[in-house]
Chains A and B, each alone.
Chain A
Amino acid sequence: GENVEQHPSTLSVQEGDSAVIKCTYSDSASNYFPWYKQELGKRPQLIIDIRSNVGEKKDQRIAVTLNKTAKHFSLHITETQPEDSAVYFCAASNSNSGYALNFGKGTSLLVTP
């Protein structure tokens, strides 16, 4: 089955700096890669996603890049703000398994003022 590795497990940045979180996946059939943000005690919320036919996608301060050959994808957050502090999860899925998401272990991001 799919195995998703996520690094780092914790990340501390100063407000205004950029944050980068990296994930690798094992199943070459995976074709959908979402990122979820989970604040303490709350549900995971989709913040951005990318499909395998696209190499990069950007939404305001958030961007995701995908390298299918190397089987890795990354989340980039620019101009970080304290409200960006949360746990971020990457995931991978494919249509063969009904788009069931396989998640990484998460990155706890702390943005200090």
Chain B
Amino acid sequence: DTGVSQDPRHKITKRGQNVTFRCDPISEHNRLYWYRQTLGQGPEFLTYFQNEAQLEKSRLLSDRFSAERPKGSFSTLEIQRTEQGDSAMYLCASGSSGANVLTFGAGSRLTVL
């Protein structure tokens, strides 16, 4: 296990299409987080899971966004009816319960044309 993996690394799509990103956390980590980062900004929190339960969602997560972690391992983030404003880097991070440290993946860069 070499860290947090994200797929795909880059996605170019047309406005209105749906996209899905996958995150594989560090295997022993039961917490998983999704962040969005735009150019020149810090990562913005979207949502987090403890095991399979989605415990918190940001106001940034509109109803076009949905995240799942069905078996408490990998997670998916789906964006429906993409808009140009959705263009960003989507970062996944994982951590252990009771521990503060988060480890980030390399991110999935979305470009909406």
Contacts and interface: CB of A to CB of B under 8 A. Distances in A.
Contacts of B102: 34, 46, 99, 101
Chain B interface, DSSP helix/strand/loop, else mixed: strand
A43 B42 CA distance: 12
B45 A100 contact: yes
Interface string A73-103: 0000000000000000101010001111111
Interface in B46-75: 48, 50, 55-56
A100 B41 contact: no
A105 B42 contact: yes
B106 to A, nearest CB: 5
Interface residues of B, number: 24
B28 interface: no
B40 interface: yes
A98 B100 contact: no
B24 to A, nearest CB: 14
Interface in A37-67: 42-46, 49, 51
Interface string A1-40: 0001010000000000000000000000000101010000
A89 B48 contact: no
Interface of B: 31, 33, 40-45, 48, 50, 55-56, 91, 93, 95, 99-107
Given A89-B43, A105-B41, 11 more contacts: A4-B42, A6-B42, A43-B105, A98-B31, A99-B31, A99-B95, A100-B56, A101-B93, A101-B102, A106-B40, A106-B41
Interface of A: 4, 6, 32, 34, 36, 42-46, 49, 51, 89, 91, 93, 97-106
12 contacts: A32-B100, A45-B104, A91-B42, A98-B48, A98-B50, A98-B55, A98-B56, A99-B99, A100-B48, A101-B43, A102-B45, A103-B43
